[in-house]
Amino acid sequence: MNRIKGKLILITGASSGIGEACARRFAAEGAQLVLWARRRVRLESVGRALEAQHGVVARLAEVDVRDRAAVSRAAEALVAAGQVPDVLVNNAGLASGLSKVHEGDPEDWDRMIDTNLKGLLNVTRAVLPHMVARRRGHVVNIGSVAGHQTYPMGNVYNASKFGVRALTEGMNLDMAGTPIRVSAVDPGMVETEFSEVRFHGDRERAKAVYQGLQPLTAADVADTIAYVVNLPEHVNILDLIIMPTAQRNVYVVDRATP
């Protein structure tokens, strides 16, 4: 049964990777879309293609989730147009750098904490009150296996994703007494622009992360998110970990040797 058709779904970080794959998957199911990211040209190419292909409406906005005022303005514009999202996918996020904490770059720390934690909070604070007022809505936070298990040099990224897990749990408690669901989807390795961003544009180093194994694709993760969103309203997935079969935890990865 398709419970996604006709829903209004706001996806942050929809210009690439998992967010873009969610936009594609939800459009194929007949959802109306609100797509936010910083790269407007990328958003436009995703949104316009989906409108042409599936006949859905994609409302696009260039929003940096770290900019609380910009987030509030974009959310208010939606609400003023009568467009309160039925589903919010808090996906915008990144790793920046991979260093021991005593050698880390505080600019990288700011980027991760401001985006993964404060950005998620900014968007949730702007959208969730309207869901509560209507007594309808579903928030899906994209965490990570890195929010369940630390790894060397993952320090601040790990902390941000452990934080996302705590926020998902806390938000669920806060929604007690309402029908609003809060879910987390926590992937292992997914081949997207994630590693290229983490290594500040070093494509060779990024490619090496996925060498010798079959990682998840963004579409695999979008399928899982669509499953979580499509469940009937009395069913709430609190936390779902999705891994490539070749990755059993953050350390145990089966790699073919060349």
Please identify which of the residues 151, 157, 210, 251 carries the catalytic annotation.
157
Residue window 172-211: x/- pattern of binding to ligand 8X3, with contact defined by CB under 6 A: -----------------x----------------------
Strand, coil or helix: 222: helix
146 touches ligand 8X3 by CB under 6 A: yes
Q: In terms of residues, how long is the chain?
A: 258
3-class SS letters over 5-43: CCCEEEEECCCCHHHHHHHHHHHHCCCEEEEEECCHHHH
Task: Give min distance, CB of 30 to ligand NDP, in A.
Answer: 23
Q: Determine the interface stretch with ligand 8X3 among 28-36, 139-147, 162-170, 213-221 (rule: CB under 6 A).
A: 139-147
Least distance in angstroms from the C-beta of 28 to ligand NDP: 18
In DSSP terms, which residues pair with 35 in a beta bridge?
11, 60
Q: What's the closest the beta carbon of residue 233 comes to ligand NDP, in angstroms?
A: 25
The answer to whether 62 and 55 are in contact (CB under 8 A) is: no
* Rounded least distance, CB 110 to ligand 8X3, Å: 18
Mind giving me the DSSP string for 166-214?
HHHHHHHHHTTTSS-EEEEEEES-B-SSHHHHHTTT-HHHHHHHTTTS-
Residue 18 in contact with ligand 8X3, rule: CB under 6 A: no
Structure tokens at 108: 């990288």
| Residue 73, φ and ψ in degrees, nearest 5 | -60, -45
Judge contact between 139 and 181, C-beta under 8 A.
Answer: yes
Q: Which is nearer to ligand NDP, 136 or 205 (CB)?
A: 205
Indicate whether 16 belongs to the interface with ligand NDP (CB under 6 A): yes
Residue 117 binds to ligand 8X3 (criterion: CB under 6 A):
no
Tell me the C-alpha distance between 169 and 22, whole Å. Answer: 23
Q: Is 96 in the site for ligand NDP (CB under 6 A)?
A: no
In the complex, the residues that contact ligand 8X3 under the rule CB under 6 A are 144-146, 154, 189, 250
**Which chain residues interact with ligand NDP by CB under 6 A?**
12-19, 37-39, 42, 63-66, 91-94, 115, 119, 142, 144, 187, 189-190, 192-194, 197, 218
